[in-house]
C-alpha cells in the first residue's frame, strides 16, 4: 500500500513516518541562533546555504525560515524588513536544495512574497490571526501550520493561565481550522502546533506534552517545537546551547504521542532519535 502523503506544492512528504524540520532564523535576536547567519549586519548567504545543506544531509526534509523573533519579550518587526530578511533566504534555498522550505511568519505581505519566492508552507505562530492573514494564506494556495499562543510574544509569559490547557488549546485550534475552511483553505492542507512555550508555564507545557495524543482528534498532522526551549532549561538548569539531550527526550515523547513534524535546531541528533523510534514502531507491525 502506498504511503499517505502531504503536499507542499510540488513536493510531498510521507505522513506515515516522522519528519524533521530544521530551523533557520534569519534574525539578529532569536533566542537560540539569532545573528548566526549574519556578517557585518547582512545575511551571509554562503553560511545560510552551508548550514541548510548540513541539515538536509543530516535528514531534515523541511527547513523553516523566520525573519521575526517570537521569543518572549521580542519586539515587532516591520513587514518590509521581514520580507527583506526572508525572501533572499527562501530564493537561495529553493534554488540550491531539494527540500520543503517553510516561512515562519504572521504577516500577510510576507506570506505573499514568500510564496512567490517558492516556499512550500506557511508556518504561523499566530494561527493566521493578524488582519488579512487568512485571505493572504488562502490566496497562496499553500498549506499552513496553525499554532496556539495565549497572548502575544511581547507579553505572553507574564501570567499565562488556563482552566484546562489541553482542552483550551484543542478548542482554539479547532476554531482556527473551521475559519481556514471558510476562507478556502482545505482541511488536508492544514497542520497544527500546540505551541509549547507560547503563553504557557512549565506545568502547562508538561501537561500538554503528556496529553499530546488528544490533539489527534483534530484529524490534522501535528508539528511540535520543543527544541532548546525554556521548559527544557527550567527542568535541567541548562543554558540554551546545553539543552540538546533534554530536547531529544522531549522529541521522543512527542513522537510516541503521535507528532509528525519535529521543528529543531539539532537535526542530526534528532534524526538519530527518530530512526530508533521508527525502527521500534515498524518491528511491531
Residues 6+ apart with CB under 8 A from 163: none
How sure is the predictor about 283, in pLDDT bands with cuts at 50, 70 and 90? confident
DSSP string, 32-50: TTTTTTEETTEE-HHHHHH
Comparing CA positions, the residue from 51, 210, 48, 221 lying closest to residue 123 is: 221
**100 pLDDT exceeds 60?**
yes
* CB-neighbour burial class of residue 94 (10 A; exposed 0-12, middle 13-18, buried 19+): middle
Question: Best-predicted range by mean pLDDT among 65-69, 97-101, 157-161?
Answer: 97-101
Residue 171: give its domain's CATH number.
Answer: 3.20.20.20
CA 103/CA 86 separation, integer angstroms: 8
Identified catalytic residue from 71, 85, 229, 243: 229
Identified catalytic residue from 263, 275, 281, 285: 263
How sure is the predictor about 44, in pLDDT bands with cuts at 50, 70 and 90? confident
Predicted local distance difference test score (pLDDT) of residue 46: 86
CA 136/CA 192 separation, integer angstroms: 18
Predicted local distance difference test score (pLDDT) of residue 284: 75
Q: How many structural domains is the chain composed of?
A: 1
Predicted local distance difference test score (pLDDT) of residue 242: 95
Angle at 123 between CA 119 and CA 129, to 5 degrees: 125
**1 pLDDT exceeds 50?**
no
**30 pLDDT exceeds 60?**
no
How sure is the predictor about 186, in pLDDT bands with cuts at 50, 70 and 90? very high
Q: Among 80-94, 134-148, 149-163, 201-215, whose mean pLDDT is lowest?
A: 149-163
**31 pLDDT exceeds 50?**
no
> Would you call 263 a catalytic residue per the annotation?
yes
> Would you call 275 a catalytic residue per the annotation?
no
Give the 3-state secondary structure of residue 163.
coil
| CA 187 from centroid of its chain's CA atoms | 18
**154 pLDDT exceeds 70?**
no
Kindly state the average pLDDT of the residues 206-228: 97
Angle at 182 between CA 69 and CA 132, to 5 degrees: 40
Mean pLDDT of the chain: 90
- Sign, CA dihedral 11-17-20-21, equals positive
Predicted local distance difference test score (pLDDT) of residue 75: 63
Kindly state the average pLDDT of the residues 36-54: 79
- In terms of DSSP bridges, do strands 121-124 and 62-66 run parallel, antiparallel, or are they unpaired? unpaired
Range(s) of the domain holding residue 90: 5-283
Predicted local distance difference test score (pLDDT) of residue 145: 98
Amino acid at each position: 500500500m502506498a504511503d499517505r502523503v502531504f503536499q507542499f506544492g510540488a513536493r510531498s512528504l510521507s505522513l506515515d513516518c516522522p519528519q524533521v524540520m530544521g530551523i533557520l532564523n534569519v534574525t539578529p535576536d532569536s533566542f537560540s541562533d539569532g545573528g548566526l547567519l549574519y556578517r557585518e549586519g547582512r545575511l551571509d548567504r554562503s553560511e545560510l546555504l552551508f548550514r541548510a545543506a548540513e541539515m538536509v544531509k543530516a535528514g531534515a526534509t523541511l527547513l523553516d525560515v523566520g525573519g521575526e523573533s517570537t521569543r518572549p519579550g521580542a519586539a515587532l518587526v516591520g513587514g518590509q524588513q521581514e520580507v527583506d530578511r526572508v525572501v533572499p533566504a527562501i530564493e537561495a534555498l529553493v534554488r540550491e536544495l531539494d527540500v520543503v522550505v517553510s516561512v515562519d511568519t504572521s504577516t500577510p505581505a510576507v506570506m505573499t512574497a514568500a510564496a512567490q519566492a517558492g516556499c512550500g508552507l506557511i508556518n504561523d505562530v499566530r494561527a493566521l490571526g493578524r488582519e488579512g492573514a487568512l485571505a493572504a494564506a488562502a490566496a497562496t494556495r499553500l498549506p499552513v501550520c496553525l499554532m496556539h499562543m495565549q497572548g502575544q510574544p511581547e507579553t505572553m509569559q507574564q501570567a499565562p493561565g488556563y482552566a484546562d490547557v489541553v482542552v483550551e488549546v484543542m478548542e482554539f485550534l479547532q476554531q482556527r481550522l473551521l475559519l481556514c475552511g471558510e476562507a478556502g483553505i482545505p482541511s488536508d492542507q492544514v497542520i497544527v502546533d500546540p505551541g509549547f512555550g507560547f503563553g504557557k508555564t512549565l506545568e502547562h507545557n508538561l501537561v500538554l506534552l503528556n496529553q499530546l495524543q488528544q490533539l489527534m482528534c483534530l484529524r490534522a498532522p501535528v508539528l511540535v517545537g520543543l527544541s532548546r526551549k525554556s521548559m527544557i532549561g527550567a527542568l535541567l538548569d541548562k543554558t540554551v546551547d546545553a539543552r540538546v539531550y533534554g530536547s531529544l527526550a522531549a522529541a521522543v515523547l512527542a513522537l510516541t504521542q503521535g507528532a509528525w513534524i519535529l521543528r529543531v535546531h539539532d537535526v542530526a541528533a534528532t534524526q538519530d532519535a527518530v530512526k530508533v523510534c521508527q525502527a521500534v514502531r515498524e518491528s511491531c507491525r
